[in-house]
Amino acid sequence: MKISIPLFSVFLAALLAGCSPKDDTEKKIDGLLGKMTLHEKVGQMNQLSGGEWLVESAAKGEVGSILNCVDPKEINAVQRAAVEDSRLGIPILVSRDVIHGFRTMFPLPIGQAATFDPELVRKGAAIAAREAVSSGVKLTFSPMLDIARDPRWGRVAEGSGEDPYLDAIMGEAMVKGYKEGGLASCVKHFVGYGAAEGGRDYNSTLLTERALRNVYFPAFKKAINAGAETLMTSFNDNDGIPSTGNKWLLTDILRDEWGFDGMVVTDWNSSGEMIAHGFASDLKHATEISVNAGVDMDMMSYGFISFIEELVKEGKIKESRIDDAVRNILRLKFRLGLFDNPYVDETAVDAYAPDALEAAKQTALESAILLKNDGVLPLKKGRTILVTGPLADAPYEQMGTWAFDGEADHTVTPLDALKDKFNVIYEPGLSYSRDNSTAGILKARAASSRAEAIVVFVGEEAILSGEAHSLSSLNLQGAQSELISAMASTGKPVAVVVMAGRPLTIERDLENCGAMLYSFHPGTMGGEALAELLCGEAVPSGKTPMTFLRTAGQAPMYYNHNNTGRPNTGTETLLEDIPIAAGQTSLGCTSYYLDSGYGPLFPFGYGLSYSSFEYSNLTLDKSKYSAGDTIMVGFDLENTGEYDATEVAQLYVRDLVGSVARPVKELKRFGRITLKAGETKHVTFELPVSELAFWNADMEFTVEAGEFQLWVAGNSAEGEALSFNVI
């Protein structure tokens, strides 16, 4: 039956739509702007680090946001000055780096990505938001959405790895979780920061527009669509233009193309650092460039508060641009409810609630990646085990980088947790991860005579990853490899647990253990999670969110690369097999390293289980698709092992011929599938053909007709391909 809608109803709906809360907010913003002096407007654009000492600045209307203050009393003092003592009563925005938890520390974001569980990541972000908001924080500088393909770069710890699709899904989950908990998110770093030359932090990048659009933009766009309220510019220059001064990025793309109406903030002094880049002559010039490019708020360069008024008078910055920036800042404050409720309850700080600890433990469980197991794990409960290694009882290091508000005395270490399940002999072997003394190794080896099995906890101290913590060697630091080797020489079963902020080059260590469990710094509840995994109370299900290299010399290496004209065949001659006086072209002339071959140590998406899985009956609903169709991918997944377990099934595609070369594989779907031992499930993935689109040779975002391949497997290197066509 066809239903007609009366014209009056249409008119009424339009009238009501015209009275939306957004319009009311815009009227309030315009009202405030009309009352503000230029000096007060500029004050809103000024973000400073500190707490109660900023009371005077707040009362004068010379600061719009503060960061690095989490004391509710200090926050209220600043708010009181801004709201009650300043002329216009505009509240302060309180910001903080809440990267992987506030008090309750979750695994590092790279570890959260290893879960391939966006719902759990959303839940963790909501808990972090709840705890942070209870202390007065209203904006977090997270999630970090930089594609990271070089583990030498220390900030891989803060992101979701090398894959644009996984990065976008995890970023979206975090944005939604923060919003659910009342915390605004600031997606960073816009853009390309993770592609820093040599993996050295703050370094230059050289990314084409097509690479930006196909690889580096998608996660930011998805996060903004999910409701991200703010965006941070990155430190790097790309093709000679620092992001903080890049009008094409901040205005043409972000505002005009994507329609972003949130706030843009610099990274710490990234405006002032354009002087060192050689892009600005002095701080006044840097301020002019930043504001005109589209920056709304300056973090800690003091340039905006010092020079904007002068630049407006000189006609180098239009006051209308200042008005737009302040609108974006005020809009955020209205959306966060700060005008209605600027103060924080000083008696209601939320930390370490039971649901927070349980979620942190579950995330640590799902994030751990089993890289090797020759039957050593799981260990039988009640056995006598030697626990050794510098990370066995290191609560501070276990929290990882960017754990400003985490508390070591609330961290459960593996040593503590294992004592409830085993008869534990503890001999640390090394005092910390960089310790080169072998005296403790001798003690650990002697203690091993009383143990039935050995568990070695190695990795990185928290300070070795994160911002400004790049490395040129990714081997275990200090004498950790010597400790593992010494334990292997005992003849006892050896399991190694690595806790680190990045994928390390652990090939030599794999040879000296029967099992290896990799846990990116797992946070507050990491000890309990690892103990449950080691004894079989839980089964590993994590997958590598980045390619694990054999040697740092392979970096950057990532699965979704373009092919070369001379691809590796797998039959190349390696260094030790090259004949003496070999001819120049005798080695085949393909793309590989003479000393380390072609492939990585472990591919993207890799992870073992105590059980085993078999994929079969992969089918597509048809062989030819139009642009508006959805591809229905079906397959059977069987748990062929003895443990109930979870597998992360992954769907990859390849566009075989394009107007520009396309990656050899691209992740398009994934799902965590839990099966009882012996159980089989039929699983279906739905993939709209529209998601095969890319920015082509004419810089158009389109799906090109042609032949494609599709795989479903447990990692990016396995699976039998099916073919289909887009017409």
Q: Which active-site residues does the annotation give?
A: 267
Helix or strand holding residue 358 (H, E): helix 354-367
CA atoms of 429 and 456, how far apart (whole Å): 9
Q: Which of 675, 634, 532, 649 is nearest to 116 (CA)?
A: 649
CA atoms of 615 and 665, how far apart (whole Å): 19
DSSP three-state, residue 284 = helix
DSSP three-state, residue 114 = helix
Other C-beta atoms within 10 Å of 443: how many? 13
Strand partners, 597: 593
DSSP state of 306: H
* Strand intervals (E) in 379-533: 384-388, 423-426, 453-459, 494-500, 515-520
Q: Which residue has the tokens 């209205």?
A: 334
What is the chain's Cα-based Rg?
27
DSSP three-state, residue 599 = coil
Sequence-separated (6 or more) residues with CB below 8 Å from residue 440: 427, 428, 429, 430, 431
CA atoms of 171 and 166, how far apart (whole Å): 8
Q: CA-CA-CA-CA torsion for 613, 614, 619, 620, nearest 10 degrees?
A: 30
**Contact criterion met (CB below 8 Å) for 72 and 375:** no
CA atoms of 315 and 320, how far apart (whole Å): 11
DSSP state of 105: B
Give yes or no for a cis peptide into 143 (omega within 30° of 0): yes
**Contact criterion met (CB below 8 Å) for 118 and 369:** no
CA atoms of 195 and 153, how far apart (whole Å): 9
Alpha carbon 196 to its chain centroid, in Å, reads: 16
Alpha carbon 603 to its chain centroid, in Å, reads: 18
Lookup: tokens for 364: 């640590």
What phi and psi, each to the nearest 5 degrees, are found at residue 36? -85, 140
Other C-beta atoms within 10 Å of 343: how many? 14
Strand partners, 613: 639
Alpha carbon 287 to its chain centroid, in Å, reads: 30
CA atoms of 230 and 224, how far apart (whole Å): 8
Q: What angle do CA 343, 346, 348 make, to 5 degrees?
A: 110
Buried b (16+ CB within 10 A) or exposed e, 192-230: bbbbbeebbbbbbbebeeebbbbbbbbbbbbbbebebbb
What phi and psi, each to the nearest 5 degrees, are found at residue 187? -75, 140
Q: Which of 257, 370, 269 is nearest to 606 (CA)?
A: 370
What phi and psi, each to the nearest 5 degrees, are found at residue 709? -120, 155
What phi and psi, each to the nearest 5 degrees, are found at residue 562? -80, 155
Cα–Cα distances (Å) from 27 to 13, 18, 21, 614, in that order, read 21, 12, 10, 60
Q: Which residue has the tokens 């920036």?
A: 325
